[in-house]
Amino acid sequence: MAKYAVYGAAPDLEAGYGTTPALYPGISADENELRWAFIRKVYSILSIQVFLTAAVSAFVVFTPAVLEFFAAHVWVLMFMSFAPLILMCPLYYYHQQHPVNLLLLGLFTVTISLSVGISCALTNPVIVLEALLLTAVVVFSLTAYTHWAARKGYDFSFLGPILFTSLMIVLLFGFIQVFFPLGPVSQTIYGGLTALIFSAYIVYDTDNLIKRYSYDEYIWASVALYLDIVNLFLALLEILRSIQDN
């Protein structure tokens, strides 16, 4: 009886705890409240990352001097491409230490945003808009589906090893493409496979957000979802660009 002292009688898990929907069957009332607060915190940070990426990308697209600078200093562009990978090491190490984690997260987001902005600046604006709309629809749909599936008792933890293996294969394929281009058809296939993998990653990481991340892993949870969204957008951009080239 003590478990339901605050909420009254034992609630229907399908209906939720009062006005708060239960995230998944078997979760206690207190855990449900804490987990919802954690989810809201992660999505707030993720929203800031997305808006920052949009702002930096827009600045790159509408400021020709930025593209001219990178064209004249290719080594800077190469460094910016590897900077997110470099920053992920200290970000993972300090992701629970405030405010260092927020500073590193900001730098991480800006470096990725510059790469996204350059990709958008070199692409037809109509294609960029189409990729953006498609990304928004896919992200919102998969997020809503995963929350619904979690409430119904479905679990997606089994996707972890499958997605990791698929990602390694795609990365190897992309590395081969750099040195041995296989033409626009292979680029379309590469973009399609990448889009499928990161769509599945959105489901997997959202499921982890609902059930498995600890409450002090909000930075790492936002990084995982942010990378899923950005890579999905870039993959869709690649598909649409290849179709236009054909």
End-to-end CA distance of the chain: 67
DSSP secondary structure string for all residues of 185-205? HHHHHHHHHHHHHHHHHHHHH
Residue 202 pLDDT: 97
Task: Give me the phi and psi of 17, to 5 degrees please.
Answer: -100, 95
Residue 246 pLDDT: 62
Sign of CA dihedral 229, 224, 200, 79: positive
Residue 246 Cα distances to 122, 130, 228, angstroms: 17, 17, 27
Give me the average pLDDT of each 10-residue run along the chain (246 residues): 37 58 87 93 96 93 84 78 84 84 92 91 90 96 96 93 92 79 76 93 96 90 95 93 76
Six token digits for residue 65: 């001097």
Task: Give me the phi and psi of 25, to 5 degrees please.
Answer: -60, 140
Residue 195 pLDDT: 94
Q: Which helix (H) or strand (E) holds 130?
A: helix 125-151
What contacts 180, CB < 8 A, 6 or more positions away?
Answer: none
Burial class (CB in 10 A: 0-12, 13-18, 19+), 80: middle
Selection from 20, 19, 16, 23 nearest residue 209 by Cα? 23
Domain ranges of the chain: 2-245
Q: Are 57 and 113 in contact (CB under 8 A)?
A: yes
Residue 2 pLDDT: 35
